Structure 1
Amino acid sequence: MQSIQWDGNQIATPGAYRGIPLAVYHRPDLCVEVSTSSSFYRNLNKSPAHAFERSRFNPAHVDDAEQSESMALGRFVHAAVAGEPFDHDCVLRPATVGGVAYQGNRKEWRDWKAAQIAAGKYIMTPEMVERAKGMIVALGKFPLVQQGILGGAPERSLIWRNKYGFFEKARPDDTPNDSGDFVDLKTTKSVAWRDLQKAIVEYGYVQQAALVMEGATALGLPATSFTFLFVESNAPFCVRAVTMKDEDIARGHALNELARKTFLQCYQSKHWPGPGDDHADAEYIDLPDWYRKSVDDRVKFALRENP
């Protein structure tokens, strides 16, 4: 795979780019025309209003002042696996700032934290670094990792123009050199089967996988499968690799296509409706089937507690 070194300017030519900082990658003006990514499409699942509020399409958008521990930990592990130096986009929280030991509510520490986030840095505590080491060691011992599952090009930004005329972006953790088998590394609380299924649904990972494969196809790269490599963020740091089935990737493609149409309609009309804005009157709402059955069983058998 031939990749293009990003020159710091807006992108006009589709391709697989290297060297684009993560914070820059997420900007809608990275390309000479408007661009979208998987994270925006997945936010559309809640509603256009929610997606717009959190996006840089919103002129009043304000970057989050907070930064979750899971975000920082995940970013550190991703950078380490990609072979990047610690200070590439992470920073270790010092013992003191301005001679003041750590106190999150002190002005010195609030200002320091705000400066790091503004600079695109993810803050790591010594305890988080130790956990990250455990995750990296566990990954290194995992058979598929030893066999080279992460042996492709790390963190390439795939950028292409879709059939509607606007740019799309995808950023797989590992772009294969010739196999077409894409891999994305995810940190998680648990690699138990049900927990992974829940995470894939909750975070819209199937849309992310589908968009990567769409981008690869648009750029003439082989795209045959998509595997998530999950590692737990706490001891014992278990690792599990799961490959998405073709029929579910197809569902991700369908959701992405729906998101494209929704985005284009909202972007052109400058109207980003919320979940209930399309209904002038009150709507009927159904109890979920699982709860209906629970109630029916409880009444039928005169149970004192929910079954």
Structure 2
Amino acid sequence: MQSIPWDGKPITRPGLYRNIPLADYHRHDLCDAVSVSSTMFRNIIRRSPAHAFTNSSLNPKRGKEPQSEAMALGRFVHKAVAGEPFDDDCVLCPPEVGGKPYNMRLKVWQDWKAEQEAAGKCVITPSMAERAKGMILALGKFPLVQQGMLGGSPERSLIWKDKRGFWKKARPDEIPNDSGDFVDLKSTNSVLYRDTQHSIIEYGYVQQAALVVEGARALVMTASSFTLLWVESEKPHCVRAQTLKDDDLARGHGLNELAAETFWQCYQSGEWPGPGDDRADAEYVDLPDWWRKSVDDRIKYQLRETA
């Protein structure tokens, strides 16, 4: 599918767009009606509408989110692997600032960093650049990457209209050239199986994947699978590729539908409830079964401690 160069104006028709800066992509007014990405849907499901609204561009009073090192490092590696220019949203620390060599404890460096972040830049320190180099080299040695796993079109935005009247957005790392096998690169602390499972659940990656697949199909593109390509951000920078199963993608789609309906109701009413806001009285809380059994066993057998 041919991509459409973004002209900087509100988008009025569905399509696969290129040249949309990340900061503009996340704006709710990117299109001629309100638009949302998986971030909104995931925050509604993982936390609540109140949390989702507070950190979204819909909130005129939202503060600037502090830039995390993990986010900046991930963004830089994404750009480098894709072969895209990174200076539009990433900046490497220069050898010196104001005549002072690199030292983030100095005020002149702290001021420089604050200026870059205020301009929407991800600041890459020398130590982060060294870690990024290791991650990139590790990815380059991974067999599936060598076979072209990351050979599609990067930095493209899928934009389509929801049946309720708002726009949906998805931005996969790579748009596959012909296979329909979407890939998303994730930096992580660990690629151990149990840890990737936890990350998929904790960060709602199955919802993110399901939205990409939905968008591709809405734009009449082939969408056969969705694979997470993990790379550790610390040595030894191990790499692992994991493809999500179709039934889990279906679960992600179901969660997105629930989130979309919730979002639309909140947006129309202007009410963004938090957890428990729909109750007028106190509610009972069930403690975990594993904890209850541990306590019951301890009382029953008069154990001083339990495993």
The TM-score range, normalised by the shorter chain, is over 0.9
> Take 1:91 and 1:246, find their aligned partners in 2: how far apart are those partners?
39
Deviations 1:259-297 (A, max 9, x none): 111011100100011102111110100111222233233
**Partner residue in 2 for 1:214:** 214
**Partner residue in 2 for 1:54:** 55
> Any unmatched runs of 5+ in structure 2?
none
Q: Which of 86-95 and 73-82 deviates more?
A: 86-95
Q: Which of 84-93 and 185-194 deviates more?
A: 84-93
**Partner residue in 2 for 1:135:** 135
Amino acid aligned to 2:270 = K
Amino acid aligned to 1:11 = I
- Tell me how far 1:155 sits from its aligned partner: 1.9
Structure 2 counterparts to residues 117-136 of structure 1, below 5 A: 117-136=117-136
Q: Are 1:155 and 2:155 an aligned pair?
A: yes
**Partner residue in 1 for 2:257:** 257
**Partner residue in 2 for 1:80:** 80
Q: Which of 212-221 and 91-100 deviates more?
A: 91-100
**Partner residue in 1 for 2:242:** 242
- Tell me how far 1:9 sits from its aligned partner: 1.3
> Take 1:182 and 1:11, find their aligned partners in 2: how far apart are those partners?
24
Q: Are 1:292 and 2:292 an aligned pair?
A: yes
Q: Are 1:186 and 2:186 an aligned pair?
A: yes
Amino acid aligned to 1:164 = R
> Take 1:269 and 1:107, find their aligned partners in 2: how far apart are those partners?
46
> Take 1:234 and 1:20, find their aligned partners in 2: how far apart are those partners?
31
> Take 1:201 and 1:156, find their aligned partners in 2: how far apart are those partners?
25
Amino acid aligned to 1:54 = N
> Take 1:183 and 1:43, find their aligned partners in 2: how far apart are those partners?
22
Alpha-carbon RMSD across the aligned residues, in angstroms, is 1.5
- Tell me how far 1:95 sits from its aligned partner: 4.3
**Partner residue in 2 for 1:8:** 8
- Tell me how far 1:120 sits from its aligned partner: 1.7
**Partner residue in 2 for 1:112:** 112
Percent identity reads 69
Amino acid aligned to 2:108 = E
Deviations 1:167-195 (A, max 9, x none): 00000001111211110000000000000
Query: May I ask how many residue pairs the two structures share in their alignment?
Result: 306
Corresponding residue SS for 2:229: strand
> Take 1:110 and 1:162, find their aligned partners in 2: how far apart are those partners?
43
Amino acid aligned to 1:268 = Q
> Take 2:52 and 2:174, find their aligned partners in 1: how far apart are those partners?
27
Corresponding residue SS for 2:67: coil
> Take 2:210 and 2:16, find their aligned partners in 1: how far apart are those partners?
17
> Take 1:170 and 1:260, find their aligned partners in 2: how far apart are those partners?
14
> Any unmatched runs of 5+ in structure 1?
none
Amino acid aligned to 2:58 = F
> Take 1:135 and 1:103, find their aligned partners in 2: how far apart are those partners?
24
> Take 1:40 and 1:8, find their aligned partners in 2: how far apart are those partners?
23
Corresponding residue SS for 2:80: helix
